[in-house]
């Protein structure tokens, strides 16, 4: 019975949260926890990073985002990214797909490189309150010579 009541409460909360994905609303989504963990197929290394996204809903369920990120790798390469992208929220309950284009700056100490990359993500915006979400997501990012996949957990603020 408790499980059924919890399920009903989650469904009601999801339906009540749908107004947050309407045209004219704003979203800020920092991954302040730093719980991004990814694996790079080019270097076969694991990295740790932080990311912040922010933007506005241009039409219902579609957000245009600007993002910035910093990642630190086991091999000593630091990666700093700036980019633009978008998200589409399905059924107004928080499931989303996103895509972005980034400029990535690789810093290996005495050697630097800049590359363009393309990324995709899929996740869920789980509403803790009317404006605050926890957003677990899986993502894939590819540039000219390597691809990276991983999972991350962040927070979303919708207003």
What is residue 34's DSSP assignment?
-
* Stretch among 99-103, 107-111, 133-137 having the lowest mean pLDDT: 107-111
Q: Is the pLDDT of residue 132 over 80?
A: yes
- 3-class state of residue 133 by DSSP: strand
List beta partners, residue 11.
none
Which pLDDT value is given to residue 54? Answer: 94
Q: What is the pLDDT of residue 153?
A: 87
pLDDT above 70 for 127? yes
Query: pLDDT by residue (tens digit) across 31-86?
Result: 644 455 666 666 666 677 888 999 999 999 999 999 998 888 766 778 899 999 99
How many structural domains compose the chain? 1
Extended beta strands in 91-144, E state: 95-107, 112-124, 126-127, 132-142
Residues 6 or more apart whose CB falls under 8 angstroms from that of 119 comprise: 83, 85, 99, 100, 101, 102, 139, 140, 141, 142
What pLDDT was estimated at residue 57?
Answer: 95
Per-residue confidence at 6, pLDDT binned at 50, 70, 90? Answer: very low
Which pTM value belongs to this model? Answer: 0.77
**Region of poorest pLDDT, from 17-21, 81-85, 114-118, 152-156:** 17-21
At 8, the pLDDT band (50, 70, 90 cuts) reads very low
Residue 70 three-state SS: strand
Structural domain of residue 108, as residue ranges?
A: 2-158
């Amino acid at each position: 019975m408790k499980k059924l009541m919890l399920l009903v409460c989650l469904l009601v909360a999801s339906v009540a949260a749908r107004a947050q994905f309407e045209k004219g609303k704003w979203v800020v989504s920092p991954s302040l926890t730093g719980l991004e963990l990814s694996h790079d197929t080019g270097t076969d290394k694991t990295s740790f990073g932080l990311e912040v996204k922010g933007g506005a809903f241009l039409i219902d369920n579609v957000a245009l985002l600007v993002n910035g990120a910093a990642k630190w790798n086991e091999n000593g390469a630091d990666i700093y990214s700036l980019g633009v992208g978008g998200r589409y929220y399905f059924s107004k309950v928080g499931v989303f797909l996103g895509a972005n284009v980034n400029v990535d700056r690789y810093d290996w100490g005495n050697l630097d490189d800049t590359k363009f990359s393309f990324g995709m993500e899929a996740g869920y915006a789980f509403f803790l309150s009317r404006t605050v979400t926890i957003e677990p997501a899986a993502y894939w990012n590819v540039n000219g010579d390597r691809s990276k996949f991983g999972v991350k957990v962040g927070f979303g603020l919708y207003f």
